[in-house]
Structure 1
């Protein structure tokens, strides 16, 4: 067989791979284009946002948009509030859901199936139905206009997906781990915090990312909890500062959105490997 014919056969054999790679590249470009356009709009004037349409290259970068978003719109304060609420919520959700998943997966008790059924049933309850009793309870406890109340409200939900991820992962771990620890005299807290929770690092990364995203982007609940305290707004609610009676500061809003997305992108890049392992491990179990 001639070298030329062999080369053509190899090319034809790889053609499906090249077509799949091209399709994925086009899909990725379409997927990330809104993010690229937002970053581009943050460096444009308000007029350029409309006149240049879908063009990603700003004429003359306007870095003052970021200064206006950070200072004049008080986005620095909103970002700090969001970090406090998000970090506290993530810690509470991870510990609480990990404990619930560990108990359901590794301990036999009466009503376990009922508990699982109730948890799954809460997936079908719209979040808007719980906002009225939640706000009423927070008001009675004196926690309505505070970051503490917001943290308790954000972390106090069922978080069924996180619990089920931990249940699936803990079920796949060998029982000899806990049995040997119990023989050595370890209690529940020791077994959970020193053995089981460290082993569940992939699931913890997954739950951290999911909870971080949902809390960071939450709008309705932080809006209700900061009606009379604008200084406690989060970044999602703080976007309203760019909407005025006579117009909207689109370039300033794009700059603020870019600032608010940087921590999310950085977290996902840092935990993406553990995130995929956690999803795969829980589904496999």
Structure 2
């Protein structure tokens, strides 16, 4: 009787979680399916995730030709070419790749020193950088803007990259710090006995062991940078050719506010790549978090 009751509770909880998950993910499903609807269907107020003309018989062999008149894939070409999403996509890829590389290098080096070495003021330093987590990013945009312009990079992709990659990135530093601190000192001592110096020990002994945390950092920062909006908006006001997908979507909403289906296509183009990346590399994300916590 107890086993049946436990099984019933488990099934009820799973069903409840499934319903909650569907409710949570429904806006994403709606955005994707709305990208192939007509504008008329969008203004009809229907919450159905499929086009009104769609019939399940269209999926039967021999009827696939009728699907061409149901799904409006022209919305994607409209967003890609007319709204310049092809340019925004390339900008976002370059911008994201550069920011992720810079932040990864900085956080690995900082986390390694903090995790493996002791020096005067270490606790104060960690406390100070941890305190920066509570400073909203908008509060520092003016000095960042002034600094980037003083360097003469205010109207280039490098200025945008440096502005986005600046800051302490405390979470990643603490992850690397905890992970490197948990590595046995015997490995480091063995490499020194073999004649390896600081650089070789770091590159060929410590760094390969930190791959899970590196993967976690890349995934988290990749998602954050890909979806970044505030800093790219500020730095591309006078440079439309440098706009990222987030800013491009914002301008699309302003310029084509009545084209809801095209807007949905733009939204889909913006978040589908990052969803695919996360699904493919989520295992490394979990391993990295688990490894850092264990360390």
Report if TM-score (shorter chain) is over 0.5. yes
Indicate the residue corresponding to 1:148 in structure 2: 158
Instruction: Identify the range of structure 1 (239-248 vs 55-64) with the bigger mean alpha-carbon deviation.
Output: 239-248
**Paired residue for 2:64?**
none
Give me the whole-angstrom Cα distance separating, in 1, the residues matched to 2:264 and 2:257. 15
Q: Which residue of 2 aligns with 1:168?
A: 178
Pairing 1:1-285 to 2, within 5 Å after superposition: 11-59=4-52, 60-244=70-254, 247-285=257-295
Cα distance change of structure 1 residues 68 and 198 upon mapping to structure 2, 3 Å threshold: same
Preserved contact between residue 242 and residue 248 of structure 1 (Cα < 8 Å): no
Q: Which runs of 4+ in 1 moved over 3 A?
A: 8-13, 244-248
> What TM-score comes out, normalization by structure 1 length?
0.93
Deviation at 1:281, TM superposition (A): 2.1
Aligned residues: 278
CA distance in 2, matches of 1:197, 1:27: 40
Structural RMSD (CA): 1.6
Alpha-carbon separation, structure 2, partners of 1:275 and 1:174: 23
Partners of 2:85 and 2:97 lie apart in 1 by 18
CA contact (8 A) 1:242 1:249 kept: no
Question: SS at the partner of 1:243?
Answer: helix
In structure 1, list runs of 5 or more residues that go unmatched.
1-7
Distance of 1:263 and 1:246 partners within structure 2: 23
Distance 1:168 1:229 in 2: 41
